[in-house]
Structure 1
Amino acid sequence: MVAAQTGRYSKYIRPISVFFDLAVITVFALYFYRDLRLDFHIYLLYQVIAWLLIAYIVKFYSIYRFTTPVEILSKLVKQGAIFLLVVIAYFPFSKQSIFSGKAIAICLSVSFAVITLSKTMWFYYLKKYRIVTGSNFRSAVIIGYTPEAINLKEVFMTRNDYGYRFMAFFSDKKTNPNIKGKIDDVKPFVIANNVDEIYCSLNEISNDQLKDLVDFADEQNKTLKFIPDTKEIFSKNLKIDYYEMFPVLSLRKTMLHDPVTKAFKRAFDIVFSFLVIVLLLSWLTPLLAILIKLESRGPVFFKQGRPGLNETEFFCYKFRSMRINKTTEREASKNDPRVTKVGRFLRKTSLDELPQFINVLLGDMSVVGPRPHLWSQNKAYGNRIKRYMVRHYVKPGITGLAQVKGYRGEIETDEDMVNRIKFDVFYIENWSLFLDLKIIVQTVINIFKGEEKAY
């Protein structure tokens, strides 16, 4: 019964914390700045955007079960100091407002006192909650039976407030009653027991085994962390955390896993898709509907189940570009007889994809991301192409890096899909707002230029 509770509510902690902090600074600003003649519509928007940007820069919400109180205090000081400067910077540009250092000092002091108190209470409550109930834990296995691995196991066993449950050791190099099995036994054990994290001693694993383990962690969405045997291991792809005095290396998560980044990207998606729907789809849809209906019988819109975030199915919307047929799980090919004349134009200009902005507004898709594949493609390539499943770590997009690089349309060889996945994974691991904007601009350029594989 306890196992069923693993991580059940953890994903809600950061969003709740962000919402609470924004509510606190908003409420106190409305109260303490009421006599400063501020245009609160503009100021509160400025304040919220500033808070989120600063939080993103200082990693204010990057607090984990092993984060120390000193680190939390450091984040609070950085957030408070920079936010104070940003608030003060607003007044010179607001001519009708009255600057009051006293009001700002009181407001921010009270706000940060409440925020600090809430964070402290949450931090210690979660630790006590794990100890008393045994809930909100993560299960872990360790590959290797080195002194470092044994020490880490002792940390898991003695520090219940960290919320880890040790499951087993695996090793090829040593025989011991405490060792569950060989390294090859790790994967079936992890799947059978729904293990959350794999800790790997670099002393006891070969490069080939390590690469295979990284691929396995990607495919199964498991966290892989490394136990360093010496101080000679350095990599920009690794970050170090300390469990008490014990160092643990882990693969860095991408920017798109950061809660603040996800919130920012979602806000951008909502604004962008709303503008497209209001300014373009509102008048273009009736015109295209008439053309589609005049040429062939059937609905104006075509909807199809596609795998989305974490392979959860959603209905992807398009303007219908084919005659009604029973082979919708087969991708379009050159001179496909199913495609209508109007449909050929829609596909060539990518106008058939415009209804997907409704998917973006609903939260099923993003403006930019890996294109959603057919279920048949997932089944065909999921186990054949390495890192294929990584694309499901984020929401699918209307356009993506692979598409603007020319890897769109019909998959003629495995190499076509390999290249598509290569660019999808690169996008996920190297996301930036600039990259999103660049892809959007390139997509618009390609629409006017025309693309060879847009059929």
Structure 2
Amino acid sequence: MKKSFFVIPLSFIAHILIINITLYALTPNTYINFFSILYYNISWFVVTYSINFYPTAKRESFKVNLKSFFTLILLYGLVYFTSFSFLSPHPYSWQHLLLVYFVICGLLILFRIFFYWARNLVRRENFVTTRAVVIGRDKNLKKIRRIFDVPEYGYRYIGYFDNYKSNSPTYLGDIQSSFNYIFENNVEEVYCLASRLSKDEIKHLMNIADNSFKKIKIIPDNKELFSRAMSIELYDSVPVLNLRASPLDLEYANLIKRMFDILFSLFVIIGVLSWLVPIVFILMKIDSKGPLFFKQKRHGVNKNTFWCYKFRSMTKSDDSDIKMATKNDMRITKLGKILRKTSIDELPQFFNVLKGDMSIVGPRPHMEVHTKQYETSVEKYLVRHFLKPGITGLAQVKGYRGEIIRKSDIVNRVRYDIFYMEKWSILLDIQIIILTVTNIFFNDKKAY
């Protein structure tokens, strides 16, 4: 996890503390009513979310973000004065309320100044840097360098590749040599100048991006490049195409998804598994020999390995780590058939969710042997590993769960996983969870 992941939640918490402490100190009567407390906190969340305030880009400075900051203060001011006008009786004069509002604004501005000062200090000291290279050289290279050379933006510019040799100290070699270089030197972001690459070279780079964990961004010219997931970012005055954009690229969105995962998994662990585990343990001891839980190494985000837990539903065998369950599989126990049919066998994975290895909704994790098989035979297979794996997923509720019988099964599974990554929202997660529960009661044909 990157250190910058905590910047957004810490900022949000700091802002909420400033508002609540100021209101409690200067207008204590507002804290007599629980509804008022809830109103001030939820309204801050709603206002910041509506103007997309927290997901600030790496290249934003204090001045760039100033407009949205004053928009936030203005909108929250309306919320603040509305509460005193209509929602709760109070003994305070309008002059006093105006003073409190200005105190809140002043403290928020001071924290904002401190926030950018601290962020820039950390980046200048190279605690948080992104290693970047450029492929191709044209007039836009100098403009991009202006961004990379500002320490506060958190980039570490390594150099560029181009088929025209140069004596520049930042010249790293021809375009062909770049493919190996970015993997061997821990390069995190690759910027491609489309004017210096052929359409075939660009497509090749796009394939590399979809089958690796490198961020590939294209600075376009007039070539025809279209992709459903593309987004345009501005680096100074230079438009840059992000080839694999996702709502979950925003730390704010990741925080929401993680909070949802923690709350939901705690609910299941305390409300369901606390009494279900003893029952399954007793039934399993009656049904067959072996441990209560089955654990298996699976590939998670960025293809990192983790132990995935399930209720044991099969007898012990030598091929459990290489062979998927099939219809009428002789390894499945009598109790295992019930557990798998109702998907109860997957419930221990809520411990994986609480631990942070998995999410409730996401691409289903595969065995290590199958990842190695599909990453070379299925186009864009590794794209699904940009996300945490899930207990359930869009592909599963659309009928592509369980055994891979035909190649189209894994191809369509990957397509749905990528679509989920590109279109994620918390409402989509909730919809998938509801469909997963519904499928349990409507005899999912692939639940075996």
Cα 1:279–1:154 change in 2 (3 A) is: closer
Q: Where does residue 28 of structure 1 map in the other structure?
A: 22
Counterparts in 2 of 1:48-447, with a 5 A limit? 48-88=41-81, 104-127=97-120, 130-131=123-124, 133=125, 136-153=128-145, 156-157=148-149, 159-172=150-163, 174-178=164-168, 179-229=171-221, 237-243=230-236, 245-251=237-243, 253-329=245-321, 330-447=323-440
Aligned to 1:4: none
- The residue type paired with residue 157 of structure 2 is F
Relative to the length of structure 2, the TM-score reads 0.88
Kindly indicate whether the alpha-carbon contact (under 8 Å) linking 2:294 and 2:310 is maintained by their aligned counterparts in 1: yes
1:226-253: CA deviations, max 9, x gaps?
Answer: 223469989882223233x444444473
Could you tell me which residue of structure 2 aligns to residue 449 of structure 1? 442
Residue by residue over 1:64-91, the C-alpha shift from the partner in whole angstroms, topping out at 9 and shown as x without a partner, is 3421433311121122222233445556
Decide whether the 8 Å contact of 1:305 with 1:316 is kept in 2: yes
Report the secondary structure of 1:225's partner residue.
strand
In structure 1, distance between residues paired with 2:126 and 2:28: 47
**1:240·1:249 contact (CA, 8 Å) conserved in 2?**
yes
Task: Name the SS for the 2:158 alignment partner.
Answer: strand
CA shift at 1:406, angstroms? 0.7
The one-character-per-residue Cα deviations of 1:144-164 (angstroms, maximum 9, x if unpaired) are 22122244336545x444443
CA RMSD of aligned residues (A): 3.0
Change (3 A) 1:91 1:251: farther
Aligned-pair CA distance for 1:18: 2.5
CA distance in 1 between partners of 2:192 and 2:258 (Å): 35
Identity of aligned residues (%): 39
Q: What do residues 161-183 of structure 1 show as CA deviations (whole Å, max 9, x unaligned)?
A: 444333232224x3444443332
CA contact (8 A) 2:24 2:31 kept: no
CA-to-aligned-CA distance 1:316-362 (integer Å, 9 cap, x gap): 22221112233321221111111001111111111111222232233
Change (3 A) 1:122 1:232: farther
- CA change 1:362–1:86 in 2 (3 A) is farther
Alignment gaps of 5+ in structure 1: 1-6
Distance 1:359 1:165, change over 3 A: closer
Amino acid at match of 1:78: T
Change (3 A) 1:240 1:447: same
Paired positions, count: 444
Asked if the contact 1:38/1:97 (under 8 Å) is kept, the reply is no
Aligned partner letter, 2:65:
I
Contact 1:148 1:229 (8 Å CA) reproduced: no
Residue deviations 1:421-445 (CA, integer Å, cap 9, x gap): 1101110110122211221121111
